Amino acid sequence: MKFNLLALGSAVSFGQAAVLGDRSQFAERATYGVVGKPEGFAAGATGGGSAACAVPADVAQLKSWLMDSTARCIVLDKEYNFKGTEGTTTEAGCRPASNKCPGNGGQDAINKASWCTNGNAGAGVKTMTVTYDTAAVAGINVGSNKSIIGVGSKGVIRGKGLRIANGAKNVIIQNIHITELNPQYIWGGDAITVDGSDLVWVDHVKVSLIGRQMFVAGNGASNRVTLSNNEFDGVTNWSATCDGRHYWAIYLTGSSDLITMKNNYIHHTSGRSPKINGNSLVHAVNNYWYSNSGHAFDNGAGGKVVAEGNVFQNVATPLLENLGKFYSSPSASANAVCKANLGHVCQTNSFGSSGTLSGTDSSFLSSFSGKTVASAGVASTAVANTAGVGKI
């Protein structure tokens, strides 16, 4: 859907050049809207629907529009920098056992939920003072029926994440870049959180330099979610694994969650890409994992995963642990078992300089029956060229 911004008058900030008659800027920004439709479990998401698209003037207006109960199409055509808007916090944190390279690329921690003191930081943890940007540790609570869309590669949210929770539903986030959430600290902030939500489509989004999770589905039911064409960029100067790669990437906690992951480019991570727990049904199809020094999948109890048509290139451990159910689409002949419930024969995965992906449990495939399931193509590295911001 495309909407004309020129008809919105004072609701849109065009900038001085346009006001003075620069018609080229008007032409560039004449029509915006959500591109395409979601595949997979969140296929019914419409976001702001037919709401007129408008550009927020500043971070305060962006936050206000995101949080209200009005259906909106919110256009980001510049950077919205939240760093410093809520000040800084100095308090006791820690140097966890994982930081074996302090001062040389390691990641220290904020003591959120007593993480530093409840044993999770490991043996030999060192208490230390940490100073962090306050805005990043809590995401903006996004209301229902919102489309948040970027223009080209200009739509950036710096220093603040987005949280769709507490009953919020029908949200589309497309073609924006979320970055710089206290990347030096574990618990520094999550880029996108869903928790107690439904019908969330995250598409052509880039996430980089995040302190904690790039995407997290919390303990509340996240219901129908589609992650498509996103770039999860783990390149960092502060790594929990001391190797320039982000460990805390994608965490699907699970509570009646239906998660489609399609055509995502997940690179330079070292773990939790994704970690799956609880009652999560995950369809991971045609994604590209590249340069992961640790593990991609970690499937905990209750996790039910179909992984098909994916590429694993330079991934040390495609599947760390499987305490749930995992179908790895092992061969063309075996994959016919998918057709009855997924509507297609599953595609085999591709591996280059990587470990193996095990898992032949097809007993849960009936869980896909009657649901909107994404299509599958042959595994391809071309995803790297099409995923992320500015590629739509």
Q: What is the pLDDT of residues 215-235, one digit of tens each?
A: 999 999 999 999 999 999 999
Judge whether 178 lies within some domain: yes
Q: How far apart (Å, rounded) are the C-alpha atoms in residues 2 and 32?
A: 5
Q: Could you tell me the residue range of the domain that residue 265 belongs to?
A: 129-386
pLDDT band at 3 (very low <50, low <70, confident <90, very high): very low
| Cα–Cα distance, 303 to 279 (Å, whole number) | 6
Domain endpoint, select from 70, 100, 127: 127
DSSP state of 16: H
Residue 1 is assigned to a structural domain of this protein? no
Question: Which of 97, 127, 157 lies at the terminal end of a domain, its last residue?
Answer: 127
Supply φ then ψ for residue 138, to 5 degrees: -130, 125
The answer to whether 237 and 183 are in contact (CB under 8 A) is: yes
Q: With contact defined as beta carbons under 8 Å apart, do 354 and 379 qualify?
A: no
Rounded CA separation 177/216 (Å): 16
Q: Are 239 and 246 in contact (CB under 8 A)?
A: yes
Indicate if 174 and 94 belong to the same structural domain.
Answer: no
Task: Please tell me whether residues 219 and 104 are part of one structural domain.
Answer: no
Residue 289, helix vs strand vs coil: strand
How do residues 283-308 score in pLDDT, each as one tens digit?
Answer: 999 999 999 999 999 999 999 999 99
Task: Indicate yes or no: pTM above 0.95.
Answer: no
On whether both 181 and 121 belong to a single domain, the answer is: no
In total, the chain counts a number of residues equal to: 392
Task: Mark whether 135 and 123 lie in a shared domain.
Answer: no
Q: In the predicted model, is pLDDT for residue 27 greater than 50?
A: no
Residue identified by tokens 């080209």 is 152
Identify the domain boundary among 127, 152, 182: 127
Q: How confident is the model at residue 31 (pLDDT cuts 50, 70, 90)?
A: confident
Q: Are 104 and 230 within one domain? A: no
Instruction: With respect to residue 64, please indicate whether it lies within any of the assigned structural domains.
Output: no
Residue 271: is its pLDDT beyond 90? yes
Could you tell me how far CA 181 lies from the centroid of its own chain? 14
Can you give the C-alpha Rg of the chain in angstroms?
21
pLDDT grade for 21, boundaries at 50, 70 and 90: very low
Task: Assess whether 231 and 112 both reside in one domain.
Answer: no
In a domain, 26, yes or no: no
pLDDT value, residue 193:
98
**168 and 226 fall within a common domain:** yes
Residue 109 forms part of a structural domain: yes
Residue 49 in domain: no
Residues carrying an active site annotation: 272
Same-domain check for residues 146 and 120: no
pLDDT of residue 26: 30
CA pair distance 275, 268, nearest whole angstrom = 16
Rounded Cα distance, 262 and 227, in Å: 6
**Which domain CATH number covers 289?**
2.160.20.10
Flag whether pLDDT at 42 surpasses 70. Answer: yes
Average pLDDT score over residue span 341-353:
98
Q: Which of 2-6, 206-210, 348-352 is the least confident region?
A: 2-6
Quote the percentage of the chain above a pLDDT of 70: 92
Written as six digits, the tokens of 288 are: 């590209």
Q: Are residues 96 and 146 in the same domain?
A: no
- Residue 383's nearest CA partner among 268, 285, 283, 265 is 265
Residues 96 and 220 placed together within one structural domain of the fold = no
Domain count, the chain: 2
User: At residue 103, does pLDDT exceed 50?
Assistant: yes
Do 241 and 374 belong together in one domain? yes
Q: What is the pLDDT of residue 17?
A: 26
DSSP-assigned letters across all residues of 62-122:
HHHHHHSSS-EEEEE-SEEE-TTTT-EEEEEEEE-TT--STTTTB-EEE-GGGTTTSSTT-
Looking at residue 128, what is its pLDDT?
98
Pair 102, 191 in one domain: no
In a domain, 283, yes or no: yes
Tokens of 327: 């179908």
Please give the structure tokens belonging to residue 24.
């080229």
pLDDT (tens digit per residue) in 120-164: 999 999 999 999 999 999 999 999 999 999 999 999 999 999 999
Domain assignment present for residue 258? The answer is yes
